Chain A
């Protein structure tokens, strides 16, 4: 069974950092692009960033560019999101999602349950 389990969320003060992790299982991790998608409370879905199968990042949403860094470790079947200079508007449920193929433009098919990030003083 394909499974994505996020961790690392929590309450953090504005300006501080947090690192999210996503543990993948049930598929050949290195064969697929991966993404982070977030959902602010009561709001819609927002793509944050994606990374190709080989670790080359696709890009970032304008709202996080320069502050967030996506990475992956294929040997550990893990995806990461380093979040720096956090702002209250980054408060959201962060989902790890599996791409449908090596190409990040081919959509996403499996979602984790998410990890909650709350940025507040």
Chain B
């Protein structure tokens, strides 16, 4: 059972803006940075967002992250077919002394 809660699925049409939520608690999101990963089918996860909203070089600015209290969100604007993937949020948990992941959200581009 994941400590971070994500919706299992999300969908949108090309060009649309989609948001994926990630809910945690004071021991993880509330007190630590949030990270987002994209996993395309059959590939290893790729870092999309670090420290709540920062983008690694090479990640398009269509991807943005935000955090408020014990929740975080990933927004994807100008949706493209190649964005179809699984998305995971993650954070350090002070109680567990380890990294915790959300259960993942499967994004479908209709």
Q: Which residues of A contact B (CB under 8 A)?
A: 35, 37, 44-47, 49-50, 58-61, 95, 100, 104-114
Q: Which residues of B contact A47 (CB under 8 A)?
A: 90, 98-101
- B47 to chain A minimum Cβ distance, whole angstroms, is 5
A95-B44, A100-B50, A112-B44 known; A106+B33 contact, CB < 8 A: yes
User: 10 extra interchain contacts, Cβ-Cβ under 8 A, other than A47-B100, A50-B98?
Assistant: A37-B101, A46-B101, A47-B90, A58-B97, A58-B98, A59-B97, A95-B44, A105-B92, A107-B33, A107-B35
Is A35 within 8 A of B44, CB to CB? no
Q: Give the chain A neighbours of B50 by CB distance below 8 A.
A: 100, 107, 109
Which residues of B in the span 29-54 have a Cβ within 8 Å of any Cβ on A?
32-33, 35, 37, 39, 44-47, 50-51
| Interface hits, B77-110 → A, CB 8 Å | 86, 88, 90, 92, 96-104
Q: Interface on chain A toward B: helix, strand, loop, or mixed SS?
A: strand
Q: Residues of A contacting B103 with CB < 8 Å?
A: 44
Contact A105 B45 (CB under 8 A): no
Cross-chain contact B2 with A44 (CB below 8 angstroms): yes
B98 touches A59 (CB 8 A): yes
Q: Which of A37, A100, A105, A107 counts the most B-chain CB atoms under 10 A from its CB?
A: A107
Q: Which residue of A lies closest to B32 (CB)?
A: A105
